[in-house]
C-alpha cells in the first residue's frame, strides 16, 4: 500500500454547524414540498363511467367487450401485431398478456362520473348506489385496484351539488364498511388554487365528522382550463394548486377536450398530441416533479367501433398516442371505451418488454458495481428500478424474470426506486 495522505482542514466545526443551522428551514421545506414519489402502484389508465350507468358488472363487462373486440377484429397475435406494427419477437407475448389482463384485471382505475358524463336524474341515489356497489366490490374481490368518483367542480353554479354528492358517496362508503384503500376522488375544472383549498376544507370536515385520521382523504386535480396552467399574474397556477392541497393531492389529470376548447383549438384538432396539450402537460410535469403528485395524460375521443377498418384505424391512433405518452413519462391516461383497453395494454406491455433486458442488465451492473458500456448514476438507477416496478405492477413483466435477470428482490427494487432524500448524493460521493 502507498503512503497514506495527510488530511488537513482549515475551518472549525462551528462553520459547518452554522451553515446547517442557517439551512434548517430550507431542509424542512424541501422535505415538506418534495417528499418524492410515494412508491405505490400507479394505474396505467383511468376509465370513466357515468354514475347513472355504473353497475355491479361494469368492470367485467368492459373486459368482456374488449375481448370480444379482439376476437372480432384481431383474432390472433399475428393479426393484432400487423395492426399495431408490433415486432415478431413481441407479438405473441404481448397478445397473450393482453388477453390474460382483460380476463384477470380489465380495469386498473375506475371513476364513477357525476360531472360531464353524468346524465342521470337522481344524483343523490346514484351516488349512494355507487358507494354501495364499490364497497361490495372491494369486499368480494371484484373491484378495480383503484375506484372512486369525479364530482362536480367548485364553481358557483354546481358547487353545492358537488359537495352534496361527495358527502353522500363518502358517507355511503363509511356506512358500508369504511373507506377502501383504493379510494380515489377527482376534482374537475379547477381554475384557482382557492378552489383546491375549499375542497381540502370539505374533506377535513368529513374526516372530523367520522373520526378519521387527518389527511386520510386525498384527491386528483383535473387540469382543464388555461388559467390552471398560467394564472393572470403570469405564474404557474398548477404549482400553487399542489401547495393548496396541503399534501392531499395525488395526481394531476390533463383534460384533453376542455383544455383544448378553452384555448380555441377547433374540434378536429383537439388531441393529446397537439402542441397546446404538450405545453400544458410539460408545465404540469415540472410543477409536480418531486412532490409525490403524479401526472396523467388525457384521452382520445376516436372510438374503435363499427367496421374492422375503422376499428383498426382507431386502435393504431390510440396505440400511438399511448406509446408517445409513455416516452414522455406520462404513465397513466384516460380510456373512454372498452375497445380502447386492448391497445392501452398492448402499448404499455410493448413499452416495458422492449426495454426490459437492457434496463435489468444496467441496474444489475449498477447494483453490483460491475461497470458496463453505460456509466449510470444513482438517479438513473432510480429510473431503471421504477421502470421495472411499473412493468411488474401492470403485468407486462413477471417478478421471477426480473429477479432472474437483475439478481434483485422486490425490496431491492423498491429501495433503488424510492431513495430517501440525500441518498442519491451520498451514494454518488
Q: What is the pLDDT of residues 348-363, one digit of tens each?
A: 999 999 999 999 999 9
Share of the chain above pLDDT 90, in %: 90
pLDDT above 70 for 7: yes
Q: What integer pLDDT is reported at residue 245 of this predicted model?
A: 98
| Mean pLDDT over the full length of the chain | 94
Distance between CA atoms of 389 and 106, rounded to whole angstroms? Answer: 19
pLDDT value for 427: 39
Q: Is the pLDDT of residue 428 over 50?
A: no
Given a cut of 80, is residue 56 above it in pLDDT?
yes
Binning pLDDT at 50, 70 and 90, where does residue 193 land?
very high
pLDDT at 381 over 80: yes
Cell of 69: 373486440
Distance from C-alpha of 124 to C-alpha of 130, rounded to nearest angstrom: 10
Amino acid 271: pLDDT: 95
- At residue 103's C-alpha, the angle toward residues 99 and 107, to 5°, is 100
Tell me the C-alpha distance between 395 and 417, whole Å: 18
Task: Give the residue-averaged pLDDT of 219-248.
Answer: 96
Burial of 61 (0-12, 13-18, 19+ CB in 10 A): middle
Alpha helices in 3-122 (DSSP H): 13-22, 24-33, 58-73, 77-84, 88-104
Identify the pLDDT of residue 368. 85
Q: How many CA atoms lie within 13 A of 274 on its CB side?
A: 23
Rounded to the nearest angstrom, the gap between the alpha carbon of residue 428 and the centroid of all alpha carbons in its chain is 29
Biggest CA-to-CA distance, the chain: 85
Residue matched to cell numbers 503512503:
3
Report strand pairing: 146-150 vs 109-113: parallel
Q: Model confidence at 372, in pLDDT bands (50, 70, 90)?
A: low
The region of weakest confidence among 5-14, 277-286, 337-346 is: 5-14
Alpha carbon of 341 to those of 65, 183, 304, 335, 355: distances in Å?
10, 21, 10, 7, 22
Categorize the per-residue pLDDT at 3 as very low, low, confident or very high, splitting at 50, 70 and 90: confident
- The pLDDT-based confidence of 96 (bands split at 50, 70, 90) is very high
Instruction: Tell me whether strands 294-296 and 249-254 are parallel, antiparallel or unpaired.
Output: parallel
Q: Which carries the bigger pLDDT value, residue 83 or residue 424?
A: 83
Lowest mean pLDDT among 279-288, 323-332, 361-370: 361-370
Per-residue pLDDT of 14-33, as tens digits, reads 999 999 999 999 999 999 99
Identify the CA nearest to 342 among candidates 100, 53, 19: 100
The number of angstroms, rounded, from the C-alpha of 373 to the middle of its chain's C-alpha atoms is: 32
Fold for the domain defined by 45-354: TIM Barrel (3.20.20)
Q: How far apart are CA 251 and CA 298, in angstroms?
A: 13
Where, residue-wise, is CATH 3.20.20.60 in the chain? Answer: 45-354
Instruction: Give the up-direction half-sphere exposure of residue 248: CA atoms within 13 A in the CB hemisphere.
Output: 27
The mean pLDDT value for 320-348 works out to 98
- Identify whether the C-beta of residue 399 lies closer than 8 Å to the C-beta of residue 356: no
- CA 133, CA 89: separation in Å to the nearest integer? 42
The model scores a pTM over 0.85: yes
Q: Cell numbers of 412, please?
A: 431491492
**What is the Cα–Cα distance from 295 to 289, expressed in whole angstroms?**
9
What average pLDDT does range 180-191 have in this prediction?
97
Crossing angle of helices 378-394 and 410-417, rounded to 10°: 130
Specify the pLDDT at position 378.
83
Question: Residue 375: its pLDDT value, please?
Answer: 54
Question: Of 219, 221, 191, nearest to 284 (Cα)?
Answer: 221
Task: Render pLDDT for 125-177 as a digit per residue (tens, 0 to 9).
Answer: 999 999 999 999 999 999 999 999 999 999 999 999 999 999 999 999 999 99
User: 340 pLDDT exceeds 80?
Assistant: yes
pLDDT above 50 (res 65): yes
Amino acid at each position: 500500500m502507498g503512503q497514506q495522505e495527510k488530511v488537513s482542514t482549515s475551518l472549525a466545526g462551528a462553520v459547518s454547524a452554522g451553515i446547517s443551522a442557517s439551512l434548517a428551514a430550507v431542509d424542512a421545506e424541501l422535505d415538506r414540498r418534495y417528499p418524492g414519489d410515494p412508491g405505490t402502484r400507479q394505474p396505467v389508465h383511468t376509465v370513466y363511467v357515468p354514475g347513472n350507468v355504473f353497475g355491479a358488472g361494469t368492470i367485467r363487462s368492459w373486459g368482456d367487450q374488449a375481448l370480444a373486440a379482439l376476437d372480432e377484429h384481431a383474432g390472433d397475435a399475428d393479426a393484432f401485431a400487423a395492426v399495431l406494427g408490433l415486432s415478431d419477437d413481441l407479438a405473441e407475448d404481448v397478445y397473450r398478456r393482453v388477453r390474460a389482463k382483460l380476463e384477470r384485471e380489465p380495469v386498473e382505475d375506475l371513476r364513477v362520473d357525476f360531472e360531464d358524463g353524468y346524465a342521470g336524474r337522481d344524483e343523490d341515489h346514484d351516488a349512494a348506489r355507487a358507494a354501495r356497489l364499490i364497497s361490495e366490490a372491494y369486499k368480494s374481490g371484484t373491484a378495480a385496484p383503484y375506484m372512486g368518483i369525479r364530482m362536480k367542480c367548485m364553481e358557483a353554479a354546481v358547487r353545492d351539488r358537488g359537495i352534496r354528492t361527495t358527502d353522500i358517496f363518502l358517507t355511503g362508503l363509511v356506512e358500508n364498511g369504511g373507506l377502501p384503500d383504493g379510494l380515489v376522488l377527482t376534482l374537475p375544472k379547477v381554475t384557482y388554487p382557492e378552489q383546491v383549498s375549499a375542497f381540502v376544507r370539505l374533506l377535513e370536515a368529513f374526516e372530523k365528522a367520522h373520526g378519521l385520521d387527518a389527511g386520510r382523504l386525498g384527491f386528483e386535480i383535473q387540469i382543464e382550463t388555461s388559467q390552471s396552467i398560467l394564472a393572470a399574474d403570469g405564474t404557474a397556477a398548477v404549482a400553487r394548486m399542489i401547495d393548496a392541497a396541503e399534501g392531499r393531492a395525488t395526481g394531476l389529470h390533463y383534460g384533453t377536450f376542455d383544455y383544448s376548447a378553452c384555448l380555441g383549438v377547433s374540434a378536429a384538432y383537439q388531441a393529446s398530441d397537439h402542441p397546446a396539450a404538450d405545453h400544458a402537460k410539460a408545465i404540469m410535469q415540472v410543477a409536480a416533479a418531486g412532490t409525490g403528485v403524479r401526472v396523467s395524460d388525457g384521452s382520445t375521443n376516436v372510438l374503435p367501433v363499427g367496421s374492422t377498418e375503422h376499428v383498426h384505424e382507431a386502435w393504431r391512433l390510440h396505440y400511438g398516442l399511448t406509446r408517445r405518452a409513455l416516452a414522455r413519462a406520462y404513465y397513466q391516461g384516460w380510456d373512454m371505451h372498452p375497445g380502447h383497453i386492448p391497445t392501452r395494454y398492448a402499448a404499455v406491455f410493448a413499452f416495458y418488454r422492449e426495454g426490459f433486458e437492457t434496463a435489468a442488465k444496467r441496474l444489475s451492473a449498477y447494483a453490483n458495481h460491475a461497470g458496463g458500456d453505460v456509466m449510470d448514476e444513482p438517479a438513473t438507477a432510480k429510473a431503471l428500478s421504477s421502470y421495472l416496478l411499473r412493468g411488474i405492477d401492470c403485468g407486462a413483466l413477471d417478478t421471477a424474470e426480473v429477479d432472474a435477470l437483475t439478481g434483485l428482490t422486490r425490496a431491492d427494487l423498491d429501495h433503488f426506486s424510492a431513495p430517501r432524500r440525500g441518498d442519491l448524493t451520498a451514494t454518488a460521493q
